[in-house]
DNA sequence: AAATAACCGTGATTCTTTTCACGTGAGATA
DNA sequence: TATCTCACGTGAAAAGAATCACGGTTATTT
């Protein structure tokens, strides 16, 4: 399968979600400009993204919603459910566990890890919690390749290392700290502190634009 | 003050955080390549970013850590503490509330809103919870311009509208749904579903790269 | 059946962001 | 003091992403 740019992948994920709600509302087909409007982008870009995954519409009815969803799914998803590990079951970890429990058909959290001995062995939201030392065998046993990392800052780098060694190839990192891992591990950072600082900055720009300051 | 690209702003936020830990470890100065290594970028880019905010180092000792932190802070932060609102105090909202309570000197959540009458009037993590109808007066009264949005999908667009009307100029949105707001409101999406799909995709790429499939 | 209109597919273009690479200057070395 | 080294500052080149714009196709209208 061809490879697409990260930006395109992000947008495809978005398109699919919006297409699903459109489908739920009974819509059978969409135009590129409809999709564009939904994601606040341009029609040309939508068409380009869809072209990347070799997806054709026709000129009078646009794209068939079902087709599109299937095409995007074939591109983004693996054929079977992808097992995911969660590391760190604190406030955020628990929220995430519950959130992903329901929201995704193809991504399933199948194991959680925590170094708190209180938690080891317990079942949280239907997931057995393992100690960190059990990671290699559990990860290998369940063929886990993707992990969500929600441990405190100081512990993130180390946990990432352990995950890498256990065979994980993609980490969604919530700790506000860049991870050092080998080139065969993809890391995506969800840095909320950064995000909030950014909106605060931009809000201030907007504000002073309004209030006179040229 | 000059305007910088969003990417630059993101990196500045990251630099500052890493500089603070370096400072905590007693380091007095850094070279551009040190910073670059920390953020997994290039030295040239670090220098360019710092140039943007008019920040000079000298050739033998690099950049002074204290100076840099101050320069970035002057650029990113407002002079006084920026008051922030949180809308939606569910699982995620509570975690965020607790998280930001401690972690940031210049951004402070000063009010939370929820439409659950159970929560109205209660104090959660030191924050008074208001009903949605009280938003206009509270936001105006506390001069809030930035909000964190953590309500369920169906409610996000509406809440965003209310925030906009109340005077908010920047929204950090956790609902997996693009918001339609006017051009004077900056929106930053924290779309975890998208992020997880993305790492899963990339992990799969990495995996098949390793296992033969050219 | 010809004309019209709307929208897709995509080469070419423009705009943005990143990287290169080299002149400069400050301290170390001899 | 002269030279050497190393990192900064930055114009120029390269790479990457978004937009433009137009030919082609398909349904509808006259
Ligand atoms: N809470 C939030 O809303 C929020 C927001 C943004 C970022 N974060 C980040 O997410 C991470 C987790 O936040 P949280 O609020 O859930 O923290 P938390 O303290 O509530 O939970 C951390 C969990 O990790 C476990 N843990 C600690 N050290 C560990 C280790 N070495 N190995 C394995 N597990 C370990 C703890 O037992 C605990 O269960 C932190 O890095 C935090 O900065 C949290
Ligand atoms: N929980 C997670 O880890 C997680 C992860 C990613 C994204 N999200 C998103 O964040 C949002 C919140 O998630 P959550 O898990 O905290 O949900 P939740 O159901 O636990 O909390 C939602 C809160 O919003 C309040 N609310 C509902 N309708 C409202 C309205 N119209 N106006 C004001 N408040 C209203 C509810 O009373 C509740 O307190 C959702 O959009 C979810 O998709 C959550």
pLDDT tens for B49-87 read 999 999 988 878 899 999 999 999 999 999 999 999 999
Question: Which fold is adopted by the domain B6-76?
Answer: Arc Repressor Mutant, subunit A (1.10.10)
Query: Is the backbone of residue B112 left (phi > 0), alpha (psi -120 to 50) or beta?
Result: beta
| pLDDT tens readout for residues B28-46 | 999 999 999 999 999 999 9
Interchain pair B196, A104: CB under 8 A: yes
- Judged by DSSP in three states, A5 sits in coil
Average pLDDT score, chain B: 94
The predicted pLDDT at position B104 comes to 87
Find where tokens 């670090």 sit: B46
The predicted pLDDT at position A214 comes to 41
Interchain pair A203, B193: CB under 8 A: no
Give the pLDDT means over successive 10-residue stretches in chain A (214 positions).
Answer: 88 97 95 95 97 88 94 95 97 96 90 96 94 98 98 97 98 97 96 97 87 57
CB neighbour list of residue B105: distance below 8 Å, 6 or more residues apart: B81
Six-digit token pair at A207? 């504000």
The predicted pLDDT at position A208 comes to 82
The 3-class secondary structure across chain B, one letter per residue, is CCCCCHHHHHHHHHHHHHHHHHHHCCCCEECHHHHHHHHCCCHHHHHHHHHHCCCCCECCCEEEHHHHHHHHHHHHCCCCCEEEEEECCCHHHHHHHHHHHHHCCCEEEEEEECCCCCCCCCEECCEEEECHHHHHHHHHHCCCCEEEECCCHHHHHHHHHHHHHHCCCEEEECCCCCCCCCCCCEEEECCHHHHHHHHHHHHHHHHHHHCCCC
**C-alpha span between B57 and B63 (Å, rounded):** 4
Instruction: State CA A214 to chain mean position distance.
Output: 39
**Domain locations in chain B as residue ranges:** 6-76, 82-193
- How far is the centre of ligand 2, averaged over its atoms, from the C-alpha of B152 (Å)? 4
The predicted pLDDT at position A206 comes to 86
Give the closest residue to A196 by CA, choosing from B84, B24, B91: B84
* Distance of A48 CA from C10 C1′ (whole Å): 9
Give CATH for domain A82-193: 3.40.50.720
Ligand nearest to the CA of A131: 1
pLDDT over 50 (residue B122): yes
* Cβ of residue A4 lying under 6 Å from some atom of ligand 1: no
The predicted pLDDT at position B212 comes to 61
Give backbone dihedrals phi and psi of B35, rounded to 5 degrees, phi first.
-60, -45
Find where tokens 């925030």 sit: B163
Could you identify the atom of ligand 2 that is nearest to the CA of residue B155?
31
Question: Are A6-76 and A82-193 equal in CATH topology?
Answer: no
For ligand 1, pick from A117, A129, A152 the residue to mutate: most ligand atoms within 8 Å of CB.
A152
| pLDDT tens readout for residues B139-155 | 999 999 999 999 999 99
Bigger pLDDT: B2 vs A112? A112
- How far is the centre of ligand 1, averaged over its atoms, from the C-alpha of A114 (Å)? 10
Lay out the sheet containing A107-113: strands in order across: A123-124, A127-130, A107-113, A82-87, A146-149, A170-173, A186-189
């Amino acid at each position: 399968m061809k490879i697409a740019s990260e930006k395109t992948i992000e947008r495809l994920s978005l398109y699919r979600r919006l297409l699903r709600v459109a489908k739920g509302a009974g819509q059978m087909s969409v135009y590129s400009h409809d999709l564009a409007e939904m994601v606040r982008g341009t029609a040309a870009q939508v068409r380009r993204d869809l072209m990347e995954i070799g997806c054709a519409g026709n000129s009078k009815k646009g794209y068939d919603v079902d087709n599109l969803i299937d095409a995007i799914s074939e591109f983004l998803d693996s054929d079977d459910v992808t097992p995911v590990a969660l590391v760190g079951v604190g406030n955020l970890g628990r929220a995430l566990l519950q959130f992903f429990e329901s929201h995704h058909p193809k991504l399933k959290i199948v194991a959680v890890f925590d170094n708190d001995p209180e938690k080891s062995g317990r079942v949280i939201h239907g997931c057995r919690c393992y100690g960190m030392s059990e990671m290699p065998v559990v990860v290998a046993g369940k063929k886990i390749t993707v992990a969500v990392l929600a441990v405190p800052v100081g512990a993130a780098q180390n946990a990432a290392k352990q995950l890498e060694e256990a065979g994980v190839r993609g980490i969604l990192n919530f700790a506000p700290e860049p991870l050092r891992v080998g080139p065969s591990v993809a890391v995506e950072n969800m840095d909320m502190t950064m995000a909030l600082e950014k909106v605060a900055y931009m809000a201030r720009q907007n504000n002073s634009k309004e209030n006179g300051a040229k």
